Amino acid sequence: MKRILVLGSGGQIGSELTMRLREVYGDGNVVATDINPERLTKEIQQTGPTAACDATKAEEIAAIVDKYKIDSIYNLVAILSATAEKNPMLGWNVGMGALLNCLEISREKKCALFTPSSIGAFGDTTPLNGTPQDTIQRPKTIYGVTKVTGELLGDYYYERFGVDARSVRFPGLISNVTPPGGGTTDYAVDIYYAAVKGEDFVCPLKPGTMLDMMYMPDALDAAINLMEADPSKLVHRNSFNITAMHFDPEEIYAEVRKHKPDFKMTYEFDAIRQKIADSWPNWMDDSCAREEWGFAPKYNLQTMTVDMLDKLSKKFGK
């Protein structure tokens, strides 16, 4: 059985990926860590091992890897796009510091490594419709620069040292356990919270801003399935385009209104987020992920909306 370390377990992805990994590999085999351990959900704290860990400090990661005989690391540590753009050095230092430590420790201690890349690894000179797997990557955000660097380093450590580094380019992720941490795609989560709480929603992106998205259950399956994939089938490694749906604010608003006809959305665009969103793909071609390791998302905008509204209604007693 695998022995797994999750870095950044308190975040939007980590809070759910940790629990899914525990279901698959056993509670005691998945160590949940975060620089802010108080961010770990009660469920995570009560079901398996946890620790405080600053991923920018190599010795803290190495100690946990040794103590728990870890063989696989899921590195979820990053500063998301909009927040990083306000503090670029923080974005670089956290994203690259954590990744380089993970790569070096994986090399020394023979761990497999998963580190997400993002649609943010593309920029406005990339073909934005049907964005190919292998194409121009000249992002103009610090977040994107860290993601492209991370993809290159992942492939370098694989080719040079045999580190089993694998990655996906996640689109915007929509979920209902832990709110997102300052990304450009957060509006597509916030809209559901507003609808369920009976609040009006002010959308920070303009109508017509098309972006790739995915519901969290499909993202968790993607991460685990890629790490379980037969390595002989992988032509690519860092990183695979994956997407489940794409829409603009008008489309998600219309979908929510099918269930909440009184819900109101207005627009007040945020210049930083709008500029970032305009430079990201409208929709990616994810055929390599489908062919090389069987990526197959289950949710679309309609089925995700039903599930999001149901889960959030229960969460807020509405």
* Least distance from ligand SER to the Cβ atom of residue 161, Å: 27
* Least distance from ligand NAD to the Cβ atom of residue 186, Å: 8
Q: Is 143 a catalytic residue?
A: yes
Say if CB 135 and CB 296 are below 8 A apart: no
Question: Cα(156)–Cα(43) distance, rounded to whole angstroms?
Answer: 37
Task: Name the DSSP letter for residue 205.
Answer: S
Question: Cα(76)–Cα(60) distance, rounded to whole angstroms?
Answer: 16
82 lines the binding site for ligand NAD (CB under 6 A): no
Say if CB 9 and CB 44 are below 8 A apart: yes
Instruction: Pick what 184 binds: ligand NAD, ligand SER, none; C-beta below 5 to 8 Å, kind-dependent.
Output: ligand SER
Phi-psi map region of 168: left, alpha, beta (phi>0 left; psi -120 to 50 alpha):
beta
Give the nearer residue to ligand NAD in terms of CB position, either 77 or 220: 77
123 lines the binding site for ligand SER (CB under 6 A): no
Interacting residue with ligand NAD among 4, 5, 6, 12 (CB under 6 A): 12
Catalytic residue among 25, 68, 143, 193: 143
Structure tokens at 262: 């009184």
- Which residue reads 């509006």 in tokens? 187
Instruction: Pick what 244 binds: ligand SER, ligand NAD, none; C-beta below 5 to 8 Å, kind-dependent.
Output: none
Give the nearer residue to ligand NAD in terms of CB position, either 54 or 286: 54
Question: Cα(29)–Cα(69) distance, rounded to whole angstroms?
Answer: 9
* Least distance from ligand SER to the Cβ atom of residue 182, Å: 7
Cα angle, residue 192 at apex, residues 43 and 90 outer, rounded to 5°: 65
91 lines the binding site for ligand NAD (CB under 6 A): no
Instruction: Pick what 245 binds: ligand NAD, ligand SER, none; C-beta below 5 to 8 Å, kind-dependent.
Output: none
The neighbouring-strand residues paired with 241 are: 169
Q: How many residues bind ligand NAD (CB under 6 A)?
A: 30
Task: Report the catalytic residues.
Answer: 143
Residues found near ligand SER in the complex (CB under 6 A)? 80-81, 118-120, 143, 172, 183-185
